Structure 1
Amino acid sequence: MVSVVSSTNTLTNRCELDSHADTCAFDPAGCCVLSTSSQSRNVTGFHNGLKINDVQIGNVCLAYDCPFDHRTYCLHFCEVLLIPGLGSHLLCVDQLRANSVVVNDVPLIRLRPEQQNREAHAILTSGIRIPLLFDKPISYFTCRQPTNAEGSDIMEFQPVWMTADIPWQPYDPDSRRQEEALRQQIDADYQAPYHQLACFTRLDSTLPTAACLDCLPQVFGDNNNVICGVHSLTIRPMKTSGKSYLIKPDQLARRWRTSIECARRTLEKTTQGAVCDWSVIQGSRHFCPVQYQLEYLRLKTNVDVDVKFGPCKSAEGNTCVAVYATPVQWARAYPLHKESDVHTSLTQLFRQFGFPQCIIPDDAKSLTQGKFREVANKGQVPIHPIEPHHPNQALTEDTIWEGSRLYRRFILSLIILIKHL
């Protein structure tokens, strides 16, 4: 470090909080430079074209005249950038907080009345409080260049260390990981507010068209099934006969006042998936969530599926494998404990890749009935089995044959390698 003698100029300057700065920066003409380092840094602005090379690093001192106790404090800033012609000094909030300096940078006009107090919009450190001013959108406080007497007499002018006298590292990957871990720990205990809606178990033909919610428990005869947060409710009859949950070309043409051919082409290019038929709903029925059908992608290809049994049980207890293949030379296999668990592989396929246009299995019951069909229907994926007694039409047969051939070649090469060892 090289000592530098300060001048006796006492120009008033501003210390501004810069949320984008990664290191405090000072103008040597407006502060007392105590020492400089032999190291330098290249400083880049918000644009790559704004770049300053070989910027010195040093320790500076500022004089702050407290308006409350009428004392002068010497604010020491270590490991800062010295940029001539900067004008106002720029303070890195994170560098101040790393030295246990409390920075409340929210202006008073942005706070609620109950949050407006003496410690709000101020810098708190070493028993002193530096109130911040607000010149939209910048928060700052006024300071000046100290005199020689103020910089040397530590008994009369109390020194305050704003930043630590250790090498400053603006970027630290460990801090990011610690912040993410703390955020996950805090969010794990958060419970979203629960909203209850009114639910009715049955309807009565004698129910009036308008009823007070306080009387609904007596009307329905149950005190546990009526939970509402509104003051009134109107129940009106609605006719559902003749309505359909899918739009037909003639309906779209009539609504849009266009030709039927144009409406037909529009429906071919769009989708009407995840639509429930509300015209046949009676009484209290729990609807299955349609978000499952909209959550994953829709693949523009067909997927063939087949089950291949192994010669013995594996170490994991698997006896067979579900093989999925497509015309685009893509295949996927899922091990199964038994053939009846093939529906679990279909669920994994939907979640990992999406819903295909259709599933093409052979005529096996495990691939056309039961839970496998339920999972396919839940995603609105049709099942089109191939013609019986024609296994060569399935793409999975070629995939299984090719996979078995590669497996045999791998085992043979492994045996040959072991013999040579």
Structure 2
Amino acid sequence: MSDFLRIGVAGLGTVGAGTVRLLQDNAALIRARTGRRLQVVAVSARDRRRDRGLDLSGIAWHDDPVALAANPDVDVICELIGGADGPALDLTLAALEGGKPVVTANKAMLALHGERLAGLAERRGAALCFEAAVAGGIPVIKALREGLAANRIERVYGILNGTSNYILSTMQETGREFADVLSEAQALGYAEADPSFDVDGIDAAHKLALLAALAYGVAPRFDQIHIEGIRHVSALDIALADELGYRIKLLGTVRYTEAGLEQRLHPAMVRKDAPIAEVDGVFNAVVIEGDRVGSVMLQGRGAGAGPTASAVTADLIDIARGIRFPVFGVPASDLLTVTSAPLSTHRGSYYIRLMVVDRPGVLADVAAALRDHDVSIESLIQRSRDPGNIVPIVLTSHEVSEAAMQGALDLIANSASVIEPPRMIRIEPY
């Protein structure tokens, strides 16, 4: 084994530049722990003239990132470009085809092409590592694939997007509305100019697909995840949840049920005293429930140059040590294709908010619709009377199927007294 591990880095944005900086700053420490020198010898990025605050002297530059894969002086590729397709996928395919290991932070690419890439890596004898793709600096991939390998995983759930968690936490603290807090998050750099991937749940769902693959040995199936974002969560919902003893979080959950593998990403209410309810700001958290270990929660920063570069470098250190695992914990040829549980089969409790015209008989009509669909009310909040004006009716249900609850809400929505679509948030028993 050579004294050097020669690294090619594609993408010098926040994560790429952070990785180069970490490898340079902590070079002596990393060498002491691996017995090898991890050295960046080649890079690729769009703009050579941009000042990234890095010493890139003596490092080869490739305008075409795919050229990194063909560079004979490069032993391992760091794909930090991003994007499910395009140059990132082309580079990864070329590197693996040539038998070179790849380290990536690209959850979108793996969520959509993970089975194909895992198969190629296995055939060519090349490692494909992605600790940085889920929850930034939190070592959740290693926890699932290695530390908890002896456990039958019963459920995995978590807060997988720091931007959405920051917005919901700030709404909770200040009572401000979503749009106002989103603008603040954009000004602070926590949210992109186009925040859709974060606030609409796409980013978190990509990560959930990878957690499902690791937890259950299945091929990643992003298209089988039920996804809802946080745009419809109002300050009123957050205040009412607080009154009921809950916090609202954007949660991803994966578990096996009698109907199949349930994968869902949506706003959820969790009890105030649940550990995950206390995870605020830009932090992420993942809870893994195993049949032997019980419940394990991992918490930390889910994004940013330092935490993500830490995870990228952890994978590089594994490669330097000669450690290699199947991409998703089992051989690619053994990845399962399983039945996806329809959301209609989900059973749980629900929070419902209705905005209605205050007049006699409205509450009776709502109760009748719930009764006709076998929905039992656990609690009810109705403000003081304000005849003729719009008032909220808020209720929580006992456990019921999603299909029954949706049927009741469809019926309620058609009432002339209900002036906007009912707002429904699932309550999780954590």
> Which bin holds the TM-score, normalised by the shorter protein?
under 0.3
Query: Normalized per residue, which structure has more helix?
Result: 2
**TM-score, structure 2 normalization:** 0.21
